[in-house]
Amino acid sequence: MGRCKRRGHCCQDVRLAESPELLREAYEYWLRSPSIDPKFSEIYIIYPMLTFLFERPDEDLPYHYRCKHFTRDSDNLPACSIYEIRPRMCRDFPYYEDVTHLDRNEPLSPYDGCGYNDPD
């Protein structure tokens, strides 16, 4: 069924439905509204961690970003500089708990070379 093999594709090309403008507006709204718990929706807090790369309007998740927390360890392997407190969108990928119709035996990651697409 595949598993994460630390190839770093998803961190270097974070694909979202939300534009940079929407992420910035959500973040600025959250800064003015401290009563909003970001655990309710990470959409309020992820703007500072992403660098916008490009948009592909024909895709379901058209906005591509690179995460500023992506790094490499001492062996030059892809790594996350905030691994212990990384957002839920990273921790829970590929969202088996939320998207119950996913077939764990099928390749399901949009990233070519992702370990979740390996048959194992």
C-beta of 86: minimal distance to ligand SF4 in Å? 4
Q: CB under 8 Å to 47, separation ≥6 — which residues? A: 20, 23, 24, 26, 27
Enumerate binding residues for ligand SF4 (CB under 6 A): 11, 14, 67, 69-70, 80, 82, 86-87, 90
Query: Quick one: which H or E segment has residue 50?
Result: strand 50-55
Whichever of 73 and 106 has its CB closer to ligand SF4, that residue is: 73
Rounded to a whole number of angstroms, the minimum distance from the CB of residue 81 to ligand SF4 is 7
Closer of 12 and 117 to ligand SF4 (Cβ): 12
Q: Which residues contact 45 (CB under 8 A, 6 or more apart)?
A: 27, 30, 38, 87
